[in-house]
A and B are shown apart, each in its own frame.
Chain A
Amino acid sequence: MKIRTLAAGLLVGALTLTACGKEGSPTDTGGAGGNNAAALPTYTVAQNVTVAGSPTFDRIKAAGKLTIGVKDDQPGLGLKNPTTGKFEGFDVEIAKMVAAGLGFDESKITFTTVDSAAREAAITNGNVDYYVGTYTITDKRKTQVSFAGPYFMAGQDLLVRADDKSITGPETLKGKKVCSVTGSTPIQRVRDQQLTEPQNIVEFQKYSQCVEKLGTKEVDAVTTDDAILKGFAAQEPDTLKVVGKTFSQEPYGIGLNHDDAALRAKIDDLLQAAIDNGTWQKIYDATLGKSGSSAQPPTIQRY
């Protein structure tokens, strides 16, 4: 089994290098018996890692295991597979890659679901060692936590029904029902910029609920970062589409304890290395890339 995984991994790597990765990968995953994990890169676990002056790393080292906060309901990014019970997606892979760089293989990782509103508390209280879950870097959040990365550059976009031609961008939302998660930045932007009327704003606990309402035509558009929307569109490409005109910049960072600059620098190095040696691209192609859209690696901001 392991050999097969490795072989498939190498195959995907080869296909990516020969620049036919996108056309190649769907058939390739099919060839590997539909096993999505097969297309993912493997990470070399670093030995004898030290991060001088990092309280978080000292704690991890003492415990001998890692707890990573993720999302469990975002296809392609962070999704708990109901059949295997395992977490999968772009964010989860980035988390594993960083863990390997810190000297911990997959068996030492505990993934914990932390929803958006509880992120700062989970990081500050030490419930999670770091958090990878569509966490946009903002100056105000930097006062409570710190961010390594960005590891991905997303932007606010719109998910609509595939046959809907009336919505082509944020300026066409007037009179349309727009849905997003309660209190999320995208829906606050829609409200602040008055992209649609207040009574047409719909807010639920989860994006999946919005997508469900989109299917029953009770809402006309779901808005949030394109990365999240692409994950949903990839699940139902016949009925849903992403408009593809982003109207914000959402750099996703890895959330860390506010006072742990040493670990932040270390993770920045690991991300930079993954971008340089092509691991980042492999992770993208095996997860979000399945939606058919490409992405550029972001520039790491060190602050």
Chain B
Amino acid sequence: MDVLLDNLDLYGPFFWTTIKLFLISGVASLIFGTFLAGLRVSPVPVFRAVGATYVTLLRNTPLTLIFVFLVFAYPLLDILELSYFTAAVVSLTLYTSAFICEVVRSGINTVPVGQAEAARALGLTFTQILGQIVLPQAIRSVVPPLMSMLIALLKNTTIAAGFSVAEAGAIRQYLSERGDNQLIGLLWVALGFIILVAVLSLIQRALEKRWSVAR
């Protein structure tokens, strides 16, 4: 308990940064990932190719490498200066979107083809079919894997500690320098993550319950 109380100045702000990183890149990944899924099922071959290439590239690159690129290589290009927090959000979003895309695409595959065909027969455009008929049903059927991706994202935020973003993953190094017991310190970090994941699990259960009647 002492380790936690003596270092509340670390745990508080650092976990808050973790939450901010998670919320911003979570929302961005959901939007961008869904957009990518749209590309992958679009009738235009070029779009499909772009989507597939993106997913293949980003899903096969370790997240740390994406961070290294954005923090150490990208600034040399001198395009737009990113703060380290922004760089972390961009890295996490680029990476997680590739996985979200595949989850959403598997959801799209659960929607019977007949629905899309019927919608097309009614004269709806591709965007309308996707946005109003297919996606609402697709996302409902993939709530559990989608939440798993978000939980993975939450834990992946700890990588940002190595790239100048002071979040929960950096607590251990701070404790080490302060001479506090790191093992006990890490248990408190673990507890923090358990609480955050528990919240996500509750959201998942609520959404599943709410949407289970839809089909």
Contacts and interface: CB of A to CB of B under 8 A. Distances in A.
Interface of A: 116-121, 138-141, 143-144, 181-185, 188, 199, 202-205, 209, 212, 216, 218
Contact of B176 (A119, A199, A205, A218): A119
B123 interface: no
Given A117-B176, A140-B179, A182-B170, 10 more contacts: A116-B173, A120-B182, A143-B179, A144-B181, A183-B175, A199-B83, A205-B162, A209-B72, A216-B76, A218-B75
Contacts of A118: 176
Contacts of A141: 179
Given A182-B161, A204-B164, A116 B179 contact: no
Name the prevailing secondary structure of the B interface residues. Answer: helix
Contacts, number: 58
Given A120-B182, A212-B72, A216-B76, A188 B164 contact: no
A218 B73 CA distance: 12
A199 B55 CA distance: 34
B54 interface: no
A168 B170 CA distance: 30
B178 A188 contact: yes
B172 interface: yes
Interface in B163-195: 163-164, 166, 170, 172-183
Contact of B177 (A188, A199, A204, A209): A188
Contacts of A199: 83
B176 A182 contact: no
B178 A203 contact: no
Interface of B: 72, 75-76, 83-84, 161-164, 166, 170, 172-183
A181 B76 CA distance: 21
10 contacts: A117-B182, A121-B182, A121-B183, A144-B179, A181-B173, A182-B170, A183-B172, A203-B164, A204-B164, A212-B72
A184 B177 contact: yes
Contacts of A120: 176, 182
Nearest to A198: B166
A204 B173 CA distance: 11
A131 to B, nearest CB: 13
A120 B172 CA distance: 12
Contacts of A182: 161-162, 164, 166, 170, 173-174
B173 A117 contact: yes
Contact of A183 (B174, B181, B183): B174
Nearest to B180: A140
A182 B159 CA distance: 12
Contacts of A121: 182-183
A140 B178 contact: yes
Given A117-B172, A121-B182, A203-B166, A183 B72 contact: no
A181 to B, nearest CB: 8
